[in-house]
Amino acid sequence: MATRVEVPEAPRDLPARGATKRSPALRRVRRWLTAYAFLAPAIALFAVFGVYTVVYGFLLSFNNWNGLAPHWTWVGLQNFKTLVSDEIIGPQVRKSVGITAIVMVALPTLVVAISLPLAFALNSIRRFQTALRTIYFLPYVTFGIAIFYAWRFMYDPDGVVNATLRAIGLDRLAPLDGFLGSTSTALPATIAVLVWASVPLGILLYLTGLQTIDQSLLEAARLEGAGVLMLLRRVVWPLLAPITALLVIIMMREALQGFALFLLMTNGGPLESTNVLGLETYTLSFGARSTNLGLASALGWSLFVVALILSLINLRLLRSRTQVR
């Protein structure tokens, strides 16, 4: 078996049988070289923009650097200590941890609670299913600055949300500074957008799961007189548990890492009430407080460790699921 070296216009000489005369060791080495030639572009890209940056960030987190000085100053674990116990940074980070924790609980809970019934309803109808799926998915694919700004427009003090509240006589619920301008409403308002954009993924996953459930099982339960709610709770929910677990983990990771929405909708405000950890890292890296990039790296790496733990849990869950089958 001949394995040709990677010349684009490789001539078709040397029929396969002719090559078998070469020594097996040589052929094996050529085969390996071919494989690595295929991998070379990906490895080059990955080495520079993947591995290098990860290692660089890791090393930087043990140093002090203002971004301009010619050299780093090694400080060991000092940056990690600063994040926890510094008089100014410490409380800031703790506040961000609290806000992020709220998002990490609220986002998965709401996405599961909204997308499961919707998927169940969608699965039960035959007509319009495709059209509805297309529409439901729009928030997910368009997620980005344009959508964030559309929501800001609606949340504006004189925007449609406030106008609607006033029109139906609920003036008290309409914040004067708009939903994003008040410390008590900004976080719920941004979480609502995050939920709105994530529910489609939940619907997609649950729908896939529902379609794999044996229909005769549902039919049997129905014949025994189980109502819809009973069906959902006793049959569908347990069967979809692995998908719920997957969805919860994905949403928790999103809550932990995502910050573009907060950057563009509130920039962490008002009064840091929406300053999630990802955004705090961004601000320490590029914002007004980016005086020590080692500190920003330390926070970025702390996030990485938590994300890694979540992913390992995810892997465990996936494993245990495949073992059952």
| The only residue of 20, 48, 170, 171 in contact with another protein, by rule CB under 8 A | 48
Q: Does 246 bind another protein (CB under 8 A)?
A: yes
d(C-alpha 271, C-alpha 265), whole Å: 14
Taking CB under 8 A as the rule, does residue 80 contact another protein? no
CB of 124 to another protein, least distance (A): 5
**In the structure encoding, which two tokens stand for residue 64, read together?**
């002090």
- If one asks whether residue 121 binds another protein (CB under 8 A), the answer comes out as yes
Beta partners for residue 63, in sequence order: 74
Binding mask 173-212 for another protein (x = CB under 8 A): -----------------------x---xx--xx--x----
Residue 128 DSSP code? T
Cis peptide before 270 (omega within 30 of 0): yes
Q: List binders of another protein among 247-306 (CB under 8 A).
A: 250, 253, 256-257, 259-260, 263-264, 278, 281-282, 285-286, 293, 296-297, 300-301, 303-304
Shortest Å, Cβ 10 to another protein: 5
Judged by CB under 8 A, does residue 228 bind another protein?
yes
| Closer Cβ to another protein, 239 or 303, answer by number | 303
* Max CA distance (Å), the chain: 90
By CB under 8 A, name the one of 20, 53, 73, 211 that touches another protein: 53
How far is Cα 75 from Cα 247, in angstroms, rounded to an integer?
39
Nearest-approach distance from CB 160 to another protein, in angstroms: 6
Q: Which of 109, 124, 128 is nearest to 218 (CA)?
A: 124
Query: At 296, is the secondary structure helix, strand, or coil?
Result: helix
Distance of alpha carbon 236 from alpha carbon 143, whole angstroms? 30
